[in-house]
Amino acid sequence: MNYKAPRGTHDIFRINASRMSWLEQKAKVIFNRHGFEEVRTPAFEDAALFMRSIGQTTDIVEKEMYIFEDRKKRKLALRPEGTASLVRAFIEHRMDVSMPAGRFFYMGEMFRYERPQAGRYRQFHQIGAEFFGSSSPAADAEIIILAQDLLSSVGINKMNIYINSLGCEKCRPFFREALVKYLDSVRDLCEDCLRRLEKNPLRVLDCKTDSNKFTEVPRMSDYLCDCCKDNFNLTQSLLKSDGCNYTVDERLVRGLDYYTKTVFEIRSDAVGSQDALAAGGRYDNLIGELGGQDTPAVGFALGSERVLLAAQKTGFFDSFQESEKIFIAVADQELFSEAFSFALKAMRNGLKGNKNISVFGPVNGKSLTSQLKFADKIKAVKTIVFARTEFEDGKFLVKNMKDKTQTKVLISEF
Ligand code: AMP
């Protein structure tokens, strides 16, 4: 029987694995500079946590969660996103009470049962940050700029940043009422929209099928209360003061129910139809709704696969130098332990100070020909051969695997 990775999942190896770690490393440095500390939460949680936080009428909860029962009939779900888990951890460890402020980041696999296509997978990686305890628009601006800086750090300088304000529990009901009234007058809404109109009318604005029908749709900005308006204005002026280029998109509602006030999405033309690289926003009620002490919060997540795809399209990785492969061979087996010690030294210290090398130690019991064949197979740049005659003069042979020339070099020189 031939086994294959499940549909929508993929193995990440070689250059793609290095790029993924590289992106994560880069993100860690940037997060640390902004005072965010790492949190690792479980890959699965109580399914109810996601249903409650993300929202019953969202695509994620309606269609995309991997839900299963364990042997004790507990209903669990593979995490479809990171925020709910971080909020759960924040409350569970009583950080909402002991230090009602905190900046956390996470990175890891997320799971959504979506139709796979380029840039959309069933298991994918997100890198995200959550800023708990600040209701200041400065936190919103910092989170948007942080996401932007992270993308710029991997060479993505052309990006489109869309922002919107969804208002708060005071002003949103008035917008909702006006929206429902308007949508009731729109003919031929698709089935999804009709269903959402009942339960979650804001999500109708997100509909790919019907959105071109909403020509006279009410604008959230006309309904924002003074506080939400001031917050949104200050967020924008802080973004402007940093030279951030953004567009206000009044149709941006995001696919998760917990958002309040500022929401944003960053897209890139460099990737295909799945063009959203990062997204996030404020969710001031979620911590309270999940049983914690009321704590304002704002956060974002980026999709690592899409970001790496966009970075690759910009040519960012073209100049990346892979480490040089060096193979250590033995022409005479009695020199095996000397060759092995030399290989270990090179692994630890590099060769002649060059640390950007990968060293492949000697293989015992193989002829030199088969060792050299192996060196070719792994695409070694050089093979260092330990041979009796040269060794007696304190030397070894350095074979250039491209042009097959070889020179005798003093071992002490290395
Ligand atoms: P969300 O949690 O839906 O706000 O998504 C945040 C980011 O995660 C998106 O902007 C994408 O870059 C990425 N993302 C979301 N869903 C997927 C998926 N199924 N496959 C790959 N990346 C995804």
Regarding whether 331 and 310 lie in a shared domain, the answer is no
Regarding whether 386 and 270 lie in a shared domain, the answer is no
Instruction: Confirm whether 209 is domain-assigned.
Output: no
What's residue 17's pLDDT?
94
CA distance 366 to 388: 16
Instruction: Confirm whether 63 is domain-assigned.
Output: yes
Query: Residue 82 CA: which ligand 1 atom is closest?
Result: 2
Instruction: Confirm whether 10 is domain-assigned.
Output: no
The protein residue with its alpha carbon nearest to ligand 1, atom 20, reads: 120
**What CATH number does residue 164 fall under?**
3.30.930.10
- List pocket residues of ligand 1, CB cut-off 6 Å: 81, 112, 114, 119-121, 124, 126, 255, 276-279, 301-303, 305-306
Instruction: Confirm whether 207 is domain-assigned.
Output: no
Regarding whether 32 and 149 lie in a shared domain, the answer is yes
Query: CB-side exposure of 130: number of CA atoms within 13 Å?
Result: 30
Domain end residue (candidates: 291, 317, 343): 317
CA distance 159 to 234: 22
Pocket test for ligand 1, best of 120, 143, 282 (most atoms within 8 A of CB): 120
What's residue 248's pLDDT?
97
Is the separation of the CB atoms in 204 and 183 below 8 Å? Answer: yes
What's residue 205's pLDDT?
87
What is the three-class DSSP state of 76? Answer: strand
Regarding whether 337 and 313 lie in a shared domain, the answer is no
Domain end residue (candidates: 281, 297, 317): 317
| Ligand 1 midpoint to CA 34 (Å) | 23
What's residue 370's pLDDT?
95
Phi first, then psi: give them for residue 335, nearest 5 degrees: -95, 10
Regarding whether 134 and 239 lie in a shared domain, the answer is yes
Q: Report the candidate in 267, 273, 277 with the shortest Cα–Cα distance to residue 117.
A: 273
Full-model pTM: 0.91
What's residue 221's pLDDT?
95
CA distance 134 to 34: 14
Regarding whether 353 and 297 lie in a shared domain, the answer is no
Regarding whether 139 and 62 lie in a shared domain, the answer is yes
Q: Dump pLDDT digits (tens) for 195-246.
A: 888 888 888 888 878 878 888 889 999 999 999 999 999 999 999 999 999 9
Pocket test for ligand 1, best of 126, 262, 266 (most atoms within 8 A of CB): 126
Instruction: List the beta strands (DSSP E) in 70-143.
Output: 75-78, 102-111, 123-132
Instruction: Confirm whether 43 is domain-assigned.
Output: yes
What's residue 381's pLDDT?
95
| Ligand 1 midpoint to CA 306 (Å) | 8
Query: Residue 112 CA: which ligand 1 atom is closest?
Result: 19
| Ligand 1 midpoint to CA 303 (Å) | 5
Question: Cα 32 from chain centroid?
Answer: 16
Is the separation of the CB atoms in 171 and 228 below 8 Å? Answer: yes
Domain end residue (candidates: 317, 335, 361): 317
Rounded to a whole number of angstroms, the distance between the first and last alpha carbons of the chain is 50
| Ligand 1 midpoint to CA 378 (Å) | 36
**Which positions of the chain have pLDDT values less than 50?**
none
| Ligand 1 midpoint to CA 215 (Å) | 28
Regarding whether 390 and 285 lie in a shared domain, the answer is no
Q: Report the candidate in 315, 302, 305 with the shortest Cα–Cα distance to residue 151.
A: 302
Instruction: Provide the domain limits for residue 274.
Output: 15-171+224-317
Regarding whether 376 and 249 lie in a shared domain, the answer is no
CA distance 350 to 359: 9
The protein residue with its alpha carbon nearest to ligand 1, atom 18, reads: 120
What's residue 191's pLDDT?
86
Regarding whether 336 and 289 lie in a shared domain, the answer is no
Regarding whether 114 and 59 lie in a shared domain, the answer is yes
Instruction: Confirm whether 217 is domain-assigned.
Output: no
Regarding whether 308 and 256 lie in a shared domain, the answer is yes
| Ligand 1 midpoint to CA 347 (Å) | 39
